[in-house]
Structure 1
């Protein structure tokens, strides 16, 4: 079966357990997590195995944000916990009204509101910016030994730098994956999405996502980045710890590309290895013009 067909089987089981109809369900995105549109303006999210705690935290965070009057996608009220289907946690959400993808300027005020909130009584845990990175390096089948060792050494250097960051903004609740794709904008409201990585940590981590889009990928324009900084109230690049957070994010997205390259070298090897060469200083200064993978 294809990944879509496998996901559909899980969806049918989850909907049966939740008492929902899956008739006419349409796939929205089939990736590491699968999203399906159901009748009655409901979206089902099928997570990876072993992510039950993260899925439950997502539900709790979304409800907390609603209580704090921060616009966010909302789960169904009568399903307070994820539905387990063969180890996959499945959550169900109200579909948003017709919307467009967010911009850097759209996400900035939402992040500022989030970072100003008092810490809730939810077991969020602390940010781990290195989660799954070591495994991705080990599993990168397109690497040769010298490349893999360089990545391991680079990871160790960044882990040491992370443990001794200079003082910055006070720790807060952070989104954890605060790129503009995790904002949906209707004619009246901008909504935050995807709370899989929400945790406690430095607010600068959220701001670095857009800064890397601007300075590394080159996908955020000068005017967009200026609007982002103005809407939030600061430019994270002025903080002494920014280069460390930038380098960690660059390593993360390189590891993500290497994971895809291992699964489909024909499609993704060139981009993954281009990113690695950039990290090693072999392609001149930023921005490097990285292209999306996935």
Structure 2
């Protein structure tokens, strides 16, 4: 390779790096700078993580909802992935198609669909009252139940697809071999299949949890302002109260938490495979 070709390759490499630094790294650096300079220089904003009960309450609500969402999405996603792997022919493909169809739907469409179903005069409450099962509408939205339900619906594909990819690599002859050696169906699953699917379960769990941390639209619509998660709280600080220092601190903390989770995830699985990088 001559010198001119190397220079061309260097320019082709540097050009996207410069664009990335301008549109991504520079705004992130500004957010980090605001978190330690507004309203006064120092780490006063970060000290509020330890002293502000309001911030601690929002963080606890976010973690609680994300953990519950992740657990439910993993249970449902595991069942879907297991069925898709073991169903033969078009049945497994059809199941995957419906998972992908849900994956392609906009988060805004999903949230408004759940609003239509769950509101006090929505489809579910109307049916329950028509059948005489309840006397008054149930509170299905503007609380944590509605937020978790909407988030689980959105996160199921993020749990099911990595699990499906992992299960496809498990030798299907291992469980029948365990059954042939005298193990029961439950014991074969717990001792053979579940441990082999554990890397996919861990990667899907951390991936689902990371995506759940940044949810904004679903908690804002289904929570109705009564269930405040950290993304919505950041938006309130930036747009309404104009407390840029506090909002930037929370955004930086959220970003660093995601990086920490990715670091933990890299211990158990190859991140290149999770994100489709060869």
TM range (shorter): under 0.3
* Larger RCO of the pair (alpha carbons < 8 Å, separation 6+): 2
| Structure showing the higher helix proportion among its residues | 2
* TM-score after normalising by structure 1: 0.27
